[in-house]
Amino acid sequence: MEMTYLEAIRQGIREEMTRDSGVFLLGEDIGVYGGAFKITSGLLQEFGEKRVIDTPISESAIVGAAIGASLMGLRPVAEMQFADFITCGYDQIVNFAAKCRYRWGAAVPMVIRAPSGGGIHGGPFHSQNPEAWFVHTPGLKVVAPATAPDAKGLIKSAIRDNDPVLFFEHKALYRRIKEDVPDGDFTVPIGKAAVVRQGRDLSIITYGAMVHVARESAETLEKEGISVEIVDLRTLAPLDEDTVLASVRKTSKVLLLHEDVLTGGIGGELAGRIAEKAFHDLDAPIVRVAAPDTPVPYSPPLEEAFLPNAAKVTERARWLARY
């Protein structure tokens, strides 16, 4: 069935709520209003106010309640209205939820949905990509789907997982893409990347909205005789290192692409692993394309200049191909 990225997430949540009575939702305006982006629209009427809970505007309270509920055997799905505000619950996520299994073997089967990313002219407090903050924290799983099928399959896997999962869903993709999503119950495994385009000359390793940027660039480059392979990480923690290294060894040239700012981003970790484990397979320096180290601008022209796009990727990929 063809559906948007947004509809795919909603369908995955609905199926898991139907399958497991322990799954419930909590967050700001997710009930009567249906969520800021309408992800949860209709779920209050379908499942009732005990399983779709409107909360106060307090991310700390939302995260704390979700952790407590998960420790009692429920499977909460907590929404941060914007991923940026996850900072208000940061301590509880990284210093409690992430460490429960290590400290005393306790499962914390909770999901935190985090609408992230720019391209919507939301300014510096509603447009960030904070995934790297959490990839650095052992005990957390971090996923970032790029397509509607993966959005549905990964939200279902995240809900079923017994560890805390941060689910980064890119706001600019909600209604922008519409794709065929398989009918019936299916999941996408956490920790497994996908080669979404085969190529021979260079590899682009990316995730989230940047997968679509990479595809646009690859189509341009193909007309110039440059064959690009694209690896969609899908999961950032744990990283599918094997798929990444296999692609690098195949093409011998790699471009690392993410929307997050350059310094401290996922690209640096990937570059380190590739340099350590596939250095002798490389025929060129590792290239990174990311946002500059500034807050996300509010002004549309400045935001356009800030965000990675196909033109920027294509320019760097041409250089890499010539090297």
> pLDDT tens for residues 156-189?
999 999 999 999 999 999 999 999 999 889 999 9
Domain identity same for 234 and 111: no
Residue 185 lies in a domain: no
User: Strand pairing of 178-180 and 202-206?
Assistant: unpaired
Domain identity same for 25 and 158: yes
The b/e string for 95-110 (b: 16+ C-beta within 10 A; e otherwise) is ebbbbbbeeeeeebbb
Task: Name the average pLDDT for the chain.
Answer: 97
Domain identity same for 204 and 174: no
pLDDT > 90 fraction of the chain, expressed in percent and rounded: 99
Domain identity same for 254 and 314: yes
Which domain CATH number covers 243?
3.40.50.920
Domain identity same for 300 and 166: no
The pLDDT of residue 183: 86
Domain identity same for 23 and 139: yes
Is residue 280 flagged as an active site residue? no
pLDDT in tens, 244-269: 999 999 999 999 999 999 999 999 99
CA distance 8 to 116: 17
Domain identity same for 168 and 249: no
Nearest 10 degrees: Cα torsion 190, 149, 253, 223: 180
The pLDDT of residue 184: 86
| pLDDT of 191 over the 90 cut | yes
The pLDDT of residue 148: 98
Domain identity same for 173 and 199: no
Catalytic option among 121, 126, 212, 280 = 126
Domain identity same for 97 and 161: yes
| pLDDT of 279 over the 90 cut | yes
Residue 225 lies in a domain: yes
Concatenating the DSSP letter of every residue in 121-177 gives ---TTS---THHHHHTSTT-EEE---SHHHHHHHHHHHHH-SS-EEEEEEGGGTTT-
Domain identity same for 207 and 297: yes
Number of domains in the chain: 2
Residue 188 lies in a domain: no
- How many residues are there in the chain? 323
Residue 259 lies in a domain: yes
pLDDT (mean) for 84-102 = 97
The pLDDT of residue 56: 97
- 13: Cβ contacts below 8 Å, ≥ 6 apart: 23, 25, 39, 40, 43, 77, 155, 159
CA distance 271 to 93: 27
pLDDT (mean) for 278-288 = 98
Which domain CATH number covers 139?
3.40.50.970
For residue 24, give its domain range: 2-180
**Pick from 180, 213, 239: which residue ends a domain?**
180
Domain identity same for 120 and 201: no
Q: Which of 191, 167, 162 is nearest to 74 (CA)?
A: 162
